[in-house]
């Protein structure tokens, strides 16, 4: 209670200063930062989604705005192939290729941006 507070008050600033400096020097031994961050993201998925949307904002906007152009270009290619080879397998094959190419472009834009945004 009040007696302990009165007794520790004069020495507490010096003790805490030494303790904090030692913790700063050995923070990796005391705290697994990667584990703390991962568990926080798993616990609160809204924080992870918010971080992802903020960091990838420019790339996500580009994907949304350019979707019509990419879709039209890939669709015209699919139409040209169907006109030349109207076999039953061309539409599913083209659909799979369009999906693969679209996902590849999105992943490249999000995870390998031209101007990475530093976090922290």
pTM check: above 0.85: no
| Coil, helix or strand at residue 59 | helix
Q: Which pLDDT value is given to residue 33?
A: 82
Q: Are 110 and 56 in contact (CB under 8 A)?
A: yes
| Coil, helix or strand at residue 23 | helix
Task: Report how far residue 19's alpha carbon sits from residue 117's, in angstroms, rounded to the nearest whole number.
Answer: 34
pLDDT in tens, the chain (120 residues): 889 888 888 998 999 999 888 888 888 888 888 888 888 888 888 888 888 888 778 777 887 888 888 888 888 888 888 899 888 888 888 888 888 888 888 888 777 766 666 765
Q: Which pLDDT value is given to residue 17?
A: 92
Q: Are 63 and 109 in contact (CB under 8 A)?
A: yes
Q: Are 91 and 82 in contact (CB under 8 A)?
A: yes
Task: Report how far residue 10's alpha carbon sits from residue 75's, in angstroms, rounded to the nearest whole number.
Answer: 76
């Amino acid at each position: 209670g009040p007696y302990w507070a009165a007794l520790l008050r004069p020495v507490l600033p010096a003790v805490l200063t030494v303790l904090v400096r030692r913790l700063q020097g050995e923070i990796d031994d005391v705290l697994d930062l990667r584990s703390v961050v991962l568990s926080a993201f798993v616990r609160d998925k809204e924080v992870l989604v918010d971080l992802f949307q903020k960091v990838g904002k420019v790339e996500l906007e580009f994907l949304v705005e350019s979707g019509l152009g990419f879709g039209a270009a890939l669709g015209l290619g699919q139409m040209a192939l169907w006109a030349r080879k109207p076999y039953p397998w061309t539409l599913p094959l083209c659909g799979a290729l369009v999906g693969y190419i679209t996902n590849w472009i999105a992943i490249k834009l999000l995870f390998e941006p031209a101007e990475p945004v530093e976090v922290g």
